[in-house]
């Protein structure tokens, strides 16, 4: 094999290191795009006449990652869409972190999903018929994050409750 020469070898090595550093810097805590739109809909007991309502859609539209630093706080921007021909009121919205996965989409059992918490929405939100509303949900990282959690993806499962507006 032919030698590139000392200067070119150094330049190639530095380029590989810089690309690797850029990839690691970009991989912090991210949420993958769901295979199907995340949606959930339920009504509390005692309400009647709601069987004709379609489920409202829940979509995480944040785009940006939350860096996994001990004690960090970030946010997720969530779009709620009402496909119904009547107004609805979303009474409750929450997100539960799943088991984190690595870049090969393999579950990493050494990193507990509990290092990440998402504060539920507490204020009811009116969504007009056929309309959308965006809400911000606060994400918190535990102060004692195991090293095994580095560069992992934490999937979130959103759920909520609504009633006729």
Does residue 164 or residue 15 have the better pLDDT? 164
| Domain contains 117 | yes
Task: Find the CATH number of the domain harbouring 65.
Answer: 2.60.370
| Domain contains 1 | no
pLDDT digits (tens, 9 = 90+) for 68-121: 678 889 889 999 999 999 999 999 999 999 999 888 889 999 999 999 999 999
Whole-angstrom Cα distance, residue 111 to residue 114?
9
Q: Residue 122 belongs to what domain range?
A: 6-164
CB 162 within 8 A of CB 43: yes
Q: How many domains does the chain have?
A: 1
pLDDT score recorded for residue 107: 93
Name the band, by pLDDT with cuts 50, 70 and 90, for residue 50: low
């Amino acid at each position: 094999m032919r030698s590139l020469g000392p200067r070119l070898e150094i330049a190639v090595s530095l380029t590989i290191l810089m690309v690797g550093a850029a990839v690691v810097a970009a991989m912090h805590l991210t949420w993958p795009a769901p295979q199907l739109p995340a949606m959930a809909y339920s009504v509390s007991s005692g309400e009647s006449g709601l069987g004709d309502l379609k489920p409202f859609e829940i979509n995480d539209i944040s785009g940006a990652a939350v860096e996994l630093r001990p004690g960090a706080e970030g946010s997720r921007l969530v779009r709620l869409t009402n496909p119904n021909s009547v107004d609805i009121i979303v009474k409750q919205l929450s997100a539960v972190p799943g088991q984190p996965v690595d870049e090969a989409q393999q579950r990493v059992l050494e990193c507990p999903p509990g290092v990440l918490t998402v504060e539920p929405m507490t204020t009811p939100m009116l969504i007009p018929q056929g309309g959308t509303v965006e809400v911000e949900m606060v994400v918190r990282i535990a102060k004692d994050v195991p090293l095994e959690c580095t560069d992992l993806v934490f999937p979130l499962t959103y759920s909520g409750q609504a009633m006729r507006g």
